[in-house]
Structure 1
């Protein structure tokens, strides 16, 4: 699983919310008049070394009316703190500052797991510091989920499963994350995309999913209805792509994509063999499996050809 890629997507899709949540101390400077531009890695490859390409997408904040100089936010997700290098981040920030022509840089590191890490780097002698670099650190594992259950910041709600909570609160945390997504994200395709995000980090087992349906019947029903609409939409999208690429191939790809997303939503991360089986199935088989997603208790029940 690429946590780095998951957080890249999150930061690029929700740049303003990411700044407000992960870099709250600096977010007040980013008012409604600011324009936020993701600087994609592809634009940096000629200037930056290979080792820097795994870092997350930086965000350049500009004020079109010229009130302030550009402000660069540099986000890095680090799953394991022992792998984090403050020297590497400092080097990266200096290169980006030179590339973008600004000395207004805010480095932010997002930690998923606890561990030991440095947030300040001082280069110099005993008499003088010639480089004094430090970063903001957002330790998701240390944030109290209960303090963010009703947040209107979608990035905060999506990350509830990554925060600290008592074991008995897990389903409430999951329900709040899903509810926040449905309330704050109007785009149905992004809803499906970030239901996957919530599911990956909540990692409910089969018993927890059953309990969730019992304790939160309205949320579960809403999700099921949404999923059903997306099955239908996926078929329509497949047909539209089929006009350009061949009807049969278009429908198959649309249905396979929707079915994979729905299965991850219901049962968590899928084995590679299951993913390959779905990608290679014909359109009729995919539609047959899709009809079972909402009622099947296990992944095997969905894909059992004997049913």
Structure 2
């Protein structure tokens, strides 16, 4: 796994794209009443920092759940992702939870922590007390992903659970099959091709295949691998169509060639943005000056490239 992997951003994207399923998976004890008609709104991090006046908390995604019939007041979920459990502070989380309760004038706040890696000495509760009385008792929901048996979620209809199969507990011999089940869940439960391509990257990051393991997957699950390759082909075709329409105006022969090249370049830009994020200037210049043959090679390699530098070298 790359040392530069932004786990915070990866999970933030996952929760924002699939809030109902994220709450169902990470906060199941409190999410049983959250039906599809419950409105879930992410609260902007910038607004909270400005109001709270301190950067003491590495915020992931606070979600506001509101029932349409008004029978229940707002329920605020605070989801925090901690890659290194040793950095976790229950005092900091309690402090932040109290601030949100005051800020939104609600007693209904559910703190939830997602741990990518488990730790034996994680505190489960906080009790502030004196000799005779307890003055503050604080608890939170937690998910230690690497302690969840992946075998329990192999056929889950919850996409957040399926995408997190590589982060769960499994044996090395199961690695290829775990990856395949995650990809199958993605292709079955998500119909949007752009999100499919986006979360293939999520599964790739947390499975961290070697070249040999990827070859095993491609051989054992040829149909799924073919479907993933189809993502790139779809974007390529869309880009070619747009580019060819522009090129036709400049002359049939020259336009066809230019249209193909512009289409390939546009498809590659789209794929790079979905997989690696914002396109840097140096990469934009390299794509703009590349030959048609080079563009086609890059598109074919993008699903297996670990980073942008490796792809475009």
Could you say what the CA RMSD is over the residues aligned between the two structures, in angstroms? 3.1
Q: 2:236, 2:263 within 8 Å by CA — same for their partners in 1?
A: no
Rounded to whole Å, the distance in 2 between the matches of 1:298 and 1:30 is 38
Indicate if the aligned counterparts of 1:260 and 1:275 stay in contact, CA closer than 8 A.
no
Where does residue 19 of structure 2 map in the other structure? 15
Q: What's 2:154 paired with?
A: 149
TM-score (norm 2): 0.82
Q: What secondary structure does 2:51 align onto?
A: coil
Tell me what 2:252 maps to: none
Q: What's the counterpart of residue 26 of structure 1? A: 30
Once the two structures are superposed, residues 99-119 of structure 1 have per-residue CA deviations (whole angstroms, 9 ceiling, x without a partner) of 111101111100011213112
Confirm or deny that 1:90 pairs with 2:103: no
Greater Cα offset, 74-83 or 35-44: 35-44
SS at match of 1:60: strand
Residue 121 of structure 1: which of 106, 121, 126 is its match?
126
- Is the contact between residue 108 and residue 135 of structure 1 (CA under 8 Å) also seen in structure 2? yes
Of 79-88 and 32-41, more deviation after overlay is shown by: 32-41
Secondary structure of the 1:132 match is: strand
TM-score, normalisation: structure 1: 0.84
Larger Rg: 2
Kept in 2: contact 1:121–1:134 (CA 8 A): yes
Structure 1 residue 294 displacement after superposition: 3.4
Structure 2 partner of 1:36: 40
Unaligned runs of 5+ in 2: 246-258
2:104 matched to which residue of 1? 100
Query: Counterparts of 1:210-221 in structure 2 under 5 Å?
Result: 210-221=215-226
Aligned residue among 105, 110, 115 for 2:114: 110
Query: Where does the alignment leave 5 or more consecutive residues of structure 1 unmatched?
Result: 241-246, 265-269
Structure 2 residue corresponding to 1:182, chosen from 164, 187, 200: 187
Matches within 5 A, 1:1-307: 1-52=5-56, 54-115=58-119, 116-233=121-238, 255-259=268-272, 261=274, 278-283=283-288, 285=290, 288-292=293-297, 293-294=299-300, 303=312
Residue 288 of structure 1 deviates from its aligned partner by 3.2
